[in-house]
């Protein structure tokens, strides 16, 4: 099939991050580039001139401590000003930044630090230091919070990097080549061990050259940001979109975890652009239904658009924005593609699974096995120190194999599933498990995660993990699907969910892919046990391995399990509301 391309051309691609910073300090010198909320509750920011001076100081002082072009520094911290300044100083002086999730346990953190071959490490504070053994071979460990730890003889306060020395010669390298690597970012690892993606200045800045021809953002725009910078959606797409356009980036003080605090910060910042995932949109829209003031504040006329990624935005949420004239844009991409490949057209009616057309400069094609393949200036160099992963990642003619399965439609690319999620039943029929998983998760708010399995079996079954926040809080108001019984514990949920599972089955065309049974498991997936990635995506292989006994029991085994469970068999007619009551 003929590749799909944008009908627009990308703008001029700046050669490197240093040039972008230099250009912006000249254009936006007195404008606030970044702000955080102080203990008093007010947002306090830093202007471009001071921001750039700090970056120059850090780059120069890094050199004084032996840092040189090509060196790597791991950033083990949650989002904060110091992390941002250090990352940009590293990139702009020819180094390579390696951000990792701020709350990794010791084993995972040290695995990635050692794998990265970094000579330097920066940590947020004591919480990160507590997750390090003290046996790492590093030249320096910079700590953002002013603390001491006797276990580390190479510990240095970040404030030392902000010391004012003679700056007659800048450490910012404006001659860095576009194809030089500046960012090593670990994938979320949904299907196994995280891989280290090597990205260049051109990879990152080509995104902005493309996006600038698609939407109108400038230094008057305001971003309310919680997306973590160790992940490509926040750390590349959102962060550099704000920086590139001179917009003000405001850190959301609950880091996206508390809807009421997000709404409070919303009122203070009044964002013109908001990037998020569906679960957060769901929580915020629910809050607007409890207060006219919150509704008017959230759906305000100054909001240019909202952006969603990572999972489809449920139609009824999309409709809430649409009826108020606020465009919803959805995107698709991977860390390996810096990350954005496609965007939906806000002027077109949104279709489930359709993620739009390629951004300028990017081409997409569908292989014979329906895998999506990508080519463009956004595609990574390759994985760091991973010969096995690099072996077949590019086709002979240079296209990146994404591992996603999809099809091309009139309105753009339609996602189907991950290639490695498709499994075969005992009769040889292929099952796309995400068809059912998407239906049930979008239909029932009381389901946090679901996973369908059945490799080599006669029929598929499902593991379901409840949204305990809703079940445990009777005062939490939710707008359920029609016919929902408002369950308040797992027993009620198991009875209520039978109808939702039946409806989800009815929405699947092929009879052999309908699930025959499900089990609700009284347990929560988490980052700590690796059943969730740091970006809160389910890690299917790890989930199936941990809860293997529950799967076997659905097929007739009688294996003892630790968690309370409620089994649902689907050879029935759905309950009516009257029967339930």
pTM: 0.87
pLDDT recorded at residue 128 = 97
Instruction: List every span in the chain annotated with CATH 3.30.300.30.
Output: 422-580
**What is the C-alpha to C-alpha distance for residues 511 and 515, in angstroms, rounded to an integer?**
9
Those residues of the chain that have pLDDT short of 70 are 1, 165-168, 189-193, 472-485, 571-581
Q: Which element (helix H / strand E) includes 447?
A: strand 447-453
Q: Is 401 exposed, middle or buried (0-12, 13-18, 19+ CB in 10 A)?
A: middle
β-sheet bridge partners, residue 408: 413
Q: Which element (helix H / strand E) includes 333?
A: strand 328-333
Q: Is the CATH code 2.40.30.200 the one for domain 45-176? A: no
Local structure of 384: helix, strand or coil: coil
Instruction: List every span in the chain annotated with CATH 3.40.50.980.
Output: 45-176
**What is the C-alpha to C-alpha distance for residues 303 and 274, in angstroms, rounded to an integer?**
8
**What is the C-alpha to C-alpha distance for residues 192 and 542, in angstroms, rounded to an integer?**
8
252-282 as b/e, with b when 16 or more CB fall inside 10 Å? bbebbeebebbbbbbeebebbbbbbbbbbbb
**What is the C-alpha to C-alpha distance for residues 415 and 200, in angstroms, rounded to an integer?**
27
Cis peptide bond prior to 339, omega within 30° of 0: yes
Q: Is the CATH code 3.50.50.60 the one for domain 422-580? A: no
What digits encode the pLDDT tens for the residues 424-480? 888 888 888 888 888 887 778 788 899 999 988 989 999 999 988 777 665 555 555
Nearest in space to 158 (alpha carbons), one of 249, 227, 80: 80
What digits encode the pLDDT tens for the residues 480-490? 555 566 787 88
Q: Which element (helix H / strand E) includes 205?
A: helix 201-211
Where would I find the beta strands (DSSP E) of 345-386?
354-358, 363-366, 371-375, 382-383
Q: In what order do the strands lie in the sheet with 196-200?
A: 155-157, 140-143, 120-123, 72-76, 96-100, 181-186, 196-200, 382-383
β-sheet bridge partners, residue 395: none
Local structure of 164: helix, strand or coil: coil
Contact 278, 312 (CB under 8 A): yes
């Amino acid at each position: 099939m003929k590749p799909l391309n944008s009908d627009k051309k990308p703008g001029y691609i700046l050669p490197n991050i240093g040039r972008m910073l230099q250009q912006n300090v000249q254009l936006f010198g007195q404008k606030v580039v970044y702000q955080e909320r102080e203990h008093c509750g007010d947002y306090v920011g830093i202007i471009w001139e001071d921001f750039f001076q700090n970056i120059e100081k850090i780059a120069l002082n890094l050199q004084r401590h032996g840092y040189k072009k090509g060196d790597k520094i791991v950033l083990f911290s949650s989002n904060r000003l110091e992390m941002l300044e250090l990352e940009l100083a590293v990139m702009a002086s020819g180094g390579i930044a390696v951000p990792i999730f701020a709350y990794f346990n010791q084993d995972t953190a040290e695995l990635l630090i050692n794998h990265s071959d970094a000579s330097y490490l920066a940590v947020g504070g004591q919480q990160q230091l507590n997750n390090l053994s003290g046996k790492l071979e590093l030249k320096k460990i910079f700590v953002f919070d002013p603390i001491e730890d006797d276990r580390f003889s190479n510990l240095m306060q970040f404030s030392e990097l902000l010391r004012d020395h003679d700056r007659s010669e800048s450490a910012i390298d404006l001659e860095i080549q576009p194809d030089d690597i500046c960012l090593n970012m670990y994938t979320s690892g949904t299907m196994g061990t995280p891989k280290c993606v090597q990205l260049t200045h051109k990879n990152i800045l080509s995104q902005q050259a493309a996006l600038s021809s698609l939407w109108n953002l400038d230094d008057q725009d305001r971003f309310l940001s919680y997306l973590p910078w160790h992940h490509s959606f926040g750390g590349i797409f959102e962060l550099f979109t704000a920086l590139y356009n001179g917009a003000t980036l405001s850190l959301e003080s609950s880091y996206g975890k508390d809807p009421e605090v997000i709404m409070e910060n919303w009122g203070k910042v009044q964002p013109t652009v908001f990037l998020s995932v569906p679960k957060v949109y769901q929580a915020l829209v629910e809050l607007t239904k409890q207060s006219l003031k919150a509704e008017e504040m959230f759906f305000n006329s100054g909001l240019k658009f909202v952006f969603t990624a990572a999972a489809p935005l449920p139609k009824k949420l999309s409709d809430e924005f649409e009826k108020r004239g606020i465009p919803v844009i959805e995107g698709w991409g991977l860390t390996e593609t810096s990350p954005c490949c496609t965007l939906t057209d806000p002027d077109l009616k949104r279709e489930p699974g359709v993620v739009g057309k390629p951004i300028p400069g990017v081409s997409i094609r569908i292989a014979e096995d329906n895998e999506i393949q990508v080519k463009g200036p956004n595609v990574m160099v390759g994985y760091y120190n991973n010969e096995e992963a690099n072996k077949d990642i590019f086709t002979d003619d240079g296209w990146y194999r994404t591992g996603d399965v999809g099809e091309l439609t009139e309105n753009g690319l339609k996602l189907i599933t991950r290639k490695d999620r498709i499994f075969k039943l005992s009769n040889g029929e292929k099952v796309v498990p995400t068809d059912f998983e998407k239906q049930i998760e979008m239909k029932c708010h009381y389901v946090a995660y679901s996973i369908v399995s059945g490799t080599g079996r006669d029929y598929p079954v499902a593991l379901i993990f409840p949204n305990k926040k809703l079940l445990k809080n009777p005062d939490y108001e939710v707008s359920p699907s029609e016919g929902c019984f408002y369950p308040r514990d797992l027993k009620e949920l198991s009875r209520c969910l039978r109808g939702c599972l039946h409806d989800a089955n009815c929405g699947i065309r092929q009879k052999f892919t309908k699930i025959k049974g499900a089990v609700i498991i009284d347990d929560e997936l988490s980052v700590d046990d690796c059943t969730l990635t740091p970006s809160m995506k389910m890690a299917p292989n790890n989930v199936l391995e941990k809860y293997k006994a529950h799967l076997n029991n659905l097929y007739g085994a009688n294996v003892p399990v630790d968690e309370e469970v409620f089994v649902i068999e689907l050879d029935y007619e759905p309950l009516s509301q009257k029967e339930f009551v």
